[in-house]
Amino acid sequence: MERKVRVRFAPSPTGALHLGGVRTALFNYLFARRHGGDFLLRIEDTDQTRYVPGAEEYIIESLKWCGLTVDEGVGAGGEYGPYRQSERKEIYRQYAIQLVESGNAYYSFDTAEELDALRKESESKGETFMYNAKSRGSLKNSLNLPKEEVQKLLDAGTHYVIRFKMPENEDLKLYDIIRGEVHFNSSLLDDKVLYKSDGMPTYHLANIVDDHLMKISHVIRGEEWLPSLPLHVLLYRAFGWENTMPEFAHLPLILKPVGNGKLSKRDGNKMGFPVFPMEFTDPITKEKWHGYKEDGYFPEAFINMLALLGWNPGTEQEIFTLEELCQQFSLDRVKKSGAKFDPEKTKWFNHKYLIAKSDAELAELVKPYLEADGLNFDKAKVEHICTLMKERYNFVADLYEDCKFFFIPPTEFNEKDSKKYWKEDTPALMNELLDILKSIDDYSFSNTEKIISAWITEKQLGFGKVMNPFRVAIIGAAKGPHMFDVIEIIGKEETIRRMEKALAAMQ
């Protein structure tokens, strides 16, 4: 029987969700949708020392903003809960003990000081200390101590950890969907801690137990977890769960826009682009981070950009709705080499989504800006401005900022532009133009263009000589779309008012 696809996004709430984390969530989501499966959200909060308050809420909000609906898990419920690992503490203990009893794990009573001393000693010899098959025989653990002694220590409540007994010198041939066969030798791996006497499992144990109990079919996660793969597979074996073990896919790294290495949150601040989906203030350091949402990106554009970081459709298509991605996504087309992050391309995506919006939709997005400035929202007028101007912008905020002159008359005239275009003979010319403007009733582009052009031609004035100072008078600077468009939008009364004001100010 085909196994039901069940994938999980399993972040640790140690801070804001980096865009790499969102990409992991997205690929899991797309894979689930493509195969009619379930997308789970599990919060891996077993490391209490790294817990950041608010991080879990941040993760949930970010997924919502991106439109990645969680089917099951924290915030969504489900029959395999609880989905927050700190609420599953009791579950892990029995599994840790099970591994001890089957001879796959053992109690280790070595203190932090003792292990530190061993580490230092190795370092002084230019070696690295590893708790493994070579060293475990001479250390303080249940493999060496007499049974009664172990029991005594446990009864006395001595601090211990349970470690995995990593086999010695075993060649492991493992399979990753993206990378194919991957080889590891177990001697390079140490006896990882699985459980601590404070009752908390470590990531490795909790992760495997939960993936098993939650019937996860595919583990899709970042490449940084590839080195943990051998331990994870060995844990499945040790539990006797290899038959139902999930398949693994490790996603390529997201690389810095320039230079080498993994994209870090510092790169964002340095180069002026967000690395987080939403704004975030670190509750401990109070450091403030930009977010795609607040910086004016559309979630669809952000998601579209992320989808192409490591995956490609095999065609030239670049713009995808989430729905299209759900239909086309496949792990076969995820590459294994790192994907360079390009902040400019992200802006390009936003631009594409901005221009694809209908004028009515865009007008609605401009509305809050107008309201914040106490300006009247004239839907038809705003839509007209959007038609005319949207091609020029990546963000609604920039569109609004640049188009404010449609709503607010200039309070000053750009010095450089007026010097350049407002000559001695300009006032006379503008007064003449004003008379013409007063005589026109139909302010449609075609009508004003016809009348004013005829006048310019008749007087042999040259277009620039009239239109440039006219522009400075109406807009306050040499910018904006065609003047006949501008006056069509602002209308006769406003055009005349602005002309009179400019003439009074710049006689």
Provide the binding-site residues for ligand GLU, judged by CB under 6 A.
Answer: 10-12, 44, 203, 207, 219, 221, 225
Smallest gap from Cβ 107 to ligand GLU, in A, equals: 25
Residues 295 and 280 sit within 8 Å (Cβ to Cβ): no
* Cis-peptide into 82, omega within 30 deg: yes
Whole-angstrom distance, CA of residue 377 vs CA of residue 359:
14
Residues 451 and 440 sit within 8 Å (Cβ to Cβ): yes
Whole-angstrom distance, CA of residue 393 vs CA of residue 387:
12
Cβ-based nearer residue to ligand GLU, 214 or 473: 214
Using CA atoms, how far residue 425 sits from 90, 431, 433, in Å, is: 89, 10, 13
Residues 201, 82, 205: CA angle, nearest 5 degrees: 20
From the CA atom positions of the chain, what is the Rg in Å?
33
Smallest gap from Cβ 6 to ligand GLU, in A, equals: 14
Determine if residue 219 is left, alpha or beta; phi over 0 gives left, psi from -120 to 50 gives alpha, anything else beta: beta
Tokens of 385: 């401005």
Whole-angstrom distance, CA of residue 493 vs CA of residue 24:
56
Packing angle, helices 483-505 and 379-389, rounded to 10: 110
Closest CA to 164 of 234, 88, 94: 234
Instruction: Using CA atoms of 229, 232, 238, 244 in order, give the dihedral in degrees to the nearest 10.
Output: -100
Cβ-based nearer residue to ligand GLU, 205 or 473: 205
Cβ-based nearer residue to ligand GLU, 225 or 405: 225
Whole-angstrom distance, CA of residue 268 vs CA of residue 341:
11
Q: Helix (H, G, I), strand (E, B), or coil: what is residue 250?
A: strand
Smallest gap from Cβ 299 to ligand GLU, in A, equals: 22
Cβ-based nearer residue to ligand GLU, 203 or 276: 203
Cβ-based nearer residue to ligand GLU, 202 or 468: 202
Closest CA to 17 of 49, 86, 64: 64
- Active site residue ranges: 265
